[in-house]
Structure 1
């Protein structure tokens, strides 16, 4: 019962419901760990907090003594999961997918125990399939069934293109479960079609069908859309303590509890306390948010780093003091006055001229404490000038 309650934490669907608990009891009685699978397509080099929702659930299974199996989708990554997509994903080159896969492995083991984790690339089986075997797999499912999935149905009705290779994605993910004989597969709620397809395909290949556990999609820093690197609303687990803490402090107050629940390992008792505190009208959400920031920095760096990140934030934002460490940017190569936008893009404070202009127009740029209102400003750079962009980015300008 204790195992089941822990596994339920944060989960949306556990299917089939009665069977899941029975299979768990059988696993404990027979001392036979469940094989718990999740797949990841390395379509980008960084793992962010959104990815860790599933990884942390895997860690809970691992701590309970079950066998975690990670599938790195070097072949499915060439297709791209169409779940939740309104258009075909751009295809990546195989070398690009494999380069991303290397960074994934390093980041996985910031959470999971490497010695207790089984890892497979799905190219291990897909690269050996002949065309007859591909046709056998394709024959297990109909186009009508495939078009039942919400995203394909919407695209079909709107006349948006659906490529044949996209139809293979749910079958490929399902066959991964056949290949490694998965007992449980974890995925986001939007992947429910793929996960249930896995059960059907396993039965067709004579493998006991897996149980399905879905986790919610983590909402990003904007408070509306799913966390995504392409949307810029993410917190990467490899980011600096300062950036992790600063980004956490920018999330809407109504997301504090879900972040604690889904992406931290605080105890169930502490989780209940946080919920009560947030429901009290007299409580200050800022203090609880600081605890969240410190907790996440501690998880991915150290307790000391977590404490320092909190102190630095309070120094700069609560007491309006300057950070202890401010990066420098050498402007000695410029001649005469310099366009403020050029300094911002050259120093990477802005990704483009248009972004730099937007920041200036929005009142988010200042020099030595004075707001810059003119996007065409030609700056006479003096050594030691302090450039501030947004709430937490500082740059000391150097010029000999």
Structure 2
């Protein structure tokens, strides 16, 4: 039997992470209250080496269902990742090699360990790979599956319609992607699929296949994408935008502090374990203070209390108190005079001389010694370097000069 405490169930369903439940929220809650053990799954295509906080909120939600006593499956789409989900894409995604995908999966498993208890013996979360069934399917198997869904049904996808109307190519492997994702539900015989709102179409294709092949219904639990309410911007692993789980404690703390004010409550609701009452009280105060609490709470989840405190202290030291970081990367040189554009590029403070020039002209480059601090304003100059001199670019980049003794 599972935990059927209505208050606990309502807290999960009404927190704000879940935006829609199909066919109905009432039916889903009724089954949860019945004590029936359900099989949940959420899928991820391992298309990049890292995950961000919008992925993390999905794992946090799945862990809540697992703690109620339900079976939870984390499905890595190692097969479908090599195809590329066309969702939200105006052009065809780059196809990945199997080696690239498996390397990404290995990193992902490590990243989600702080969010889910894989050491649980009684009801551990399960990890599956859809290559276990999709890679073994025969032509006749696919023909049988394809006979269950019509072409007009697949063409209902808005991005397919957009591609066609714009005269852009739509390849067969992309057209069939919803069938592949949909068949994952059949292969695992699941009761519930958790997905982002951008994946509802694929999840409903899976629901259709479950009904036609297994003769059973599947609930679709759609969760927020955590988009910025003002700009509509999303965290994206493929575009490299967001707060990423492979960031160091200080980097993660800083990325959260850099979030716009309108994202504070969204991140609290979806990425912390604080109650809605506590969150409401915090966000009603000063935004900077609320962000500091938020950053500490999230870093604590991934790295523990001590690392979170250290990250907060270091952040305040650098950005509030304008002091140098406790640890600065050392750049070793042999000559004391160095063309400033070369210095910034060679030390990787700038990616190109063009960027280095722009940074200097914008007043973003400073040299610091024990007794002096000075802006570098002339991009044509050679600067005289000293041992332990610090070069700072912007607010976040530092190097310490170490002159090699010949």
| Conserved 8 A contact 1:7-1:57 | no
1:225 maps to 2:233: yes
1:121 is displaced (CA, Å) by 0.6
1:160 maps to 2:168: yes
* Distance in 1 of aligned mates of 2:130 and 2:297: 34
Match runs of 1:1-400 below 5 Å: 1-2=6-7, 3-9=9-15, 10-17=17-24, 18-26=26-34, 28=35, 32-114=36-118, 115=120, 116-219=124-227, 224-275=232-283, 277=284, 283-332=285-334, 335=335, 337-368=337-368, 369-400=373-404
| Conserved 8 A contact 2:210-2:216 | yes
* Distance in 2 of aligned mates of 1:311 and 1:178: 50
Residue 136 to residue 350, structure 1, CA distance change in 2 (3 Å): farther
* Distance in 1 of aligned mates of 2:19 and 2:243: 23
1:5 is displaced (CA, Å) by 3.0
Structure 1 vs Structure 2 CA RMSD: 2.0
| Conserved 8 A contact 1:16-1:211 | yes
1:313 is displaced (CA, Å) by 1.6
TM-score, length basis structure 1: 0.91
1:224 is displaced (CA, Å) by 4.9
1:361 is displaced (CA, Å) by 4.1
* Distance in 2 of aligned mates of 1:153 and 1:264: 38
* Distance in 1 of aligned mates of 2:52 and 2:63: 16
| Conserved 8 A contact 1:152-1:162 | yes
TM-score, length basis structure 2: 0.89
* Distance in 1 of aligned mates of 2:327 and 2:304: 19
1:214 is displaced (CA, Å) by 1.3
* Structure 1 stretches lacking a partner, 5+ long: 278-282
1:74 is displaced (CA, Å) by 1.0
1:265 is displaced (CA, Å) by 1.8
* Distance in 1 of aligned mates of 2:354 and 2:237: 20
* Structure 2 stretches lacking a partner, 5+ long: 1-5
Of 149-158 and 371-380, more deviation after overlay is shown by 371-380
| Conserved 8 A contact 1:340-1:375 | yes
Aligned residues: 387
| Conserved 8 A contact 1:53-1:215 | no
Residue 355 to residue 160, structure 1, CA distance change in 2 (3 Å): farther
